[in-house]
Amino acid sequence: MTSTRNVALTIGLLCVSLAGWEGAVRLLAVPIYIVPPPSRVVVALWRGFASGLYPRHLVYTLTETVLGFLLGAALGFSLGIAVASSRYIEYFVYPYIVMFQSLPKVALAPLIVIWFGLGLASKVVNAALVAFFPLMVNTMVGLRSADEDRVSLMRALAASEPQIFWMLRLPGALPFVMAGLDVAVILALIGAIVGEFVGAQHGLGMLIQSMNFTMDVSGQFSVLLLLSVLGLALNKGIAVLRRRVLFWDPSVKSRSDAL
Amino acid sequence: MAATAISVAGVAMRYAARGASVAALADMSFDVAEREFVAIVGPSGCGKSTLLKILAGLLPPTRGEARLRGTPIAGPRRDIGVVFQAPVLFPWRTVLDNVLLPVDVQGLPRDRHRRAALDLLALVGLEGFEQRYPWELSGGMQQRVSIIRALIHDPAMLLMDEPFGALDAMTRELMNLELQRIWLERKKTVLFITHSIPEAVFLADRVLVMTPRPGAIMDDVAVRLPRPRSLDAMSTSEFGGCVARIRARFNAQGGVDA
Ligand SMILES: Nc1ncnc2c1ncn2[C@@H]1O[C@H](COP(=O)(O)OP(=O)(O)OP(=O)(O)O)[C@@H](O)[C@H]1O
Ligand SMILES: [Mg+2]
């Protein structure tokens, strides 16, 4: 009942604001190379898809993002485990990781393109470097947050340290890991786009830049729209994964029931 | 006299805490016979949980020696079951898998113990909840799960640290009856820590009374009530006498907290 009303309201609001945008641009005679009317953006989107240009670049950027995300997640997860389980690694390695993290990584992108070329590899590396940190920190915090009573229980059962890790710490860290993945996937997309800006032959980021040179602002708007939909889809993907992995977590359960 | 299951001789414990050190146990000595049910009562902070951790092998005592069935405690052992004040269940395991945790940790055959777990769950009235998750259970149900988890690998001894402390009075009485029934059926050695004098007297063959911190035993009260005891046992003069005697010991020491 309420949900159908909310959907109607959302669509209505969207229509009104789009109409307002269209009207304002036409009424004030804003040049099309500054702000295009929504109708132009839709036309650009349609042309891009019909010509097969957008799907090709979309798939390319998606591939970069997913590969970079997987690489960064694997890196962040294993570093998180390493730092959480060894005082030495925490003492000797962690400060460098934090130093590296405080560097604006966008500034690294030109170097990475020099090292890894204009192709897929440099975007994947860039995405991975931007994405790994939140996952590492969350994995670390998650592994350390194991409840003291549960650890005592495992110890009282004469469990070994590996058993405590696999049966208690790791499953207990999963809610934190999933929250880290949530952030990491969007960061991976940003990393891939930045990489494309610096130097690329394919991808939505490269498309935006070449449109910028030809002053095709409606085209840029349409690609931006595409990027935000892509980000949303990646986010939804993680949400689905999260519900699968954390089926036992009452907070996840109640949230999905409420929807 | 039966063989000795737990023997504590001159055990003292000091915690080192930022320069200062806290004496938790002063000088504890007592024996528990095989298949005996012994309760320990004492004011809050007198070192009851500390004692239990020492017996569970989680904490080496500063002084003295504790033995289980004749061997000095050198670390956690597999022939004891521990029940903590909180249920301490794993939220990602079903009720059945929570009960089977000791089986998984100790690498025992799962199928045989699965049957035993189902029997135990039925014994405490949790039939039909085997595949539920802990958060779908009430506090009392969770605590029942944690008790049968301590029984699943059939340990000779049970160490229980205020297992019913968080429950309301009525659930608590039911759980006391249930624990007595389990104990009569399985005849294990039980060391049961509690704040509640009536609970201790109702359940135990002997009640050890502790002084305030640093803890030591100040009285050893034998409860001569026939088994199985029903809640009516609480209105007998033997029950009243034991409770009054323990209370008097506390009052002489400067009051009880509960
Ligand atoms: N890890 C620790 N480090 C320092 N001091 C501790 C530690 N654990 C307990 N203590 C101290 O030792 C004393 C005994 O603690 P313990 O937990 O054994 O008491 P308790 O009898 O179980 O109390 P309660 O009935 O409230 O559970 C307390 O005064 C406490 O402050
Ligand atoms: Mg305690």
pLDDT confidence bin for B254, thresholds 50/70/90: low
pLDDT confidence bin for A259, thresholds 50/70/90: very low
- For residue B81, report the phi and psi dihedrals to the nearest 5 degrees: -115, 135
d(CA A72, CA A89): 19
Instruction: Please give the pLDDT value at position B1.
Output: 52
DSSP state of B127: T
Q: Pick from B53, B90, B106: which is nearest to A150 by CB?
A: B90
Any CB–CB contact under 8 A between A149 and chain B? yes
Instruction: Please give the pLDDT value at position A1.
Output: 56
Could you report the predicted ipTM of this complex, rounded to two decimals?
0.86
pLDDT confidence bin for B16, thresholds 50/70/90: confident
Domains of chain A as residue ranges with CATH: 47-250 (1.10.3720.10)
Nearest ligand atom owner, CA of B44: 1
How high does pLDDT run on average in chain A? Answer: 91
Instruction: Please give the pLDDT value at position A106.
Output: 83
Domain B1-79+156-258 fold is: Rossmann fold (3.40.50)
Nearest to B148 by CA among B176, B173, B184, B182: B182
- Between A217-245 and A38-50, two packed helices, what is the crossing angle to 10 degrees? 70
Q: Which residues line ligand 1 (CB under 6 A)?
A: B 15, 17, 22, 24, 42, 44-50, 195, 213
Which residues of chain B lie closer than 8 angstroms to A254, CB-CB?
none
pLDDT in tens, A35-68: 899 999 999 999 999 999 999 999 999 999 999 9
- Chains A, B: CB contacts under 8 A, how many? 53
Give Rg (Cα) of chain A: 23
Give me the mean pLDDT over the B130-156 stretch: 91
What are the structure tokens assigned to B90, written together?
């794993």
> Closest ligand 1 atom to the C-alpha of B47?
18
DSSP state of B136: G
Q: What percent of chain B has pLDDT over 70?
A: 97
- The structural domains of chain B, with segments of one domain joined by +, span 1-79+156-258, 90-154
Question: Does residue B166 contact residue B194 with C-beta atoms inside 8 Å?
Answer: no
Nearest to B196 by CA among B52, B48, B41: B41
Nearest to B73 by CA among B83, B64, B85: B64
Q: What percent of chain B has pLDDT over 90?
A: 67
Give me the mean pLDDT over the A19-26 stretch: 91
pLDDT confidence bin for A253, thresholds 50/70/90: low
Any CB–CB contact under 8 A between A33 and chain B? no
Query: Which strand ranges, in their side-by-side order, compose the sheet holding B20-33?
Result: B71-72, B63-68, B4-17, B20-33, B215-222, B206-210, B37-41, B189-194, B157-161, B80-83
Q: Whose alpha carbon is nearest atom 28 of ligand 1?
A: B45
Q: Pick from B102, B105, B135: which is nearest to A250 by CB?
A: B135
Give me the mean pLDDT over the A112-137 stretch: 93
Q: Which amino acid, residue A197?
A: F
DSSP state of A259: -
How high does pLDDT run on average in chain B? Answer: 90
Q: Pick from A150, A159, A174: which is nearest to B88 by CB?
A: A150
Does this model's pTM top 0.90? My answer is: no
pLDDT in tens, A74-84: 999 999 999 99
Chain B: give the shortest CA distance to residue A144, in Å.
Answer: 16
pLDDT confidence bin for A254, thresholds 50/70/90: low
d(CA B87, CA B141): 9
Instruction: Please give the pLDDT value at position A77.
Output: 95
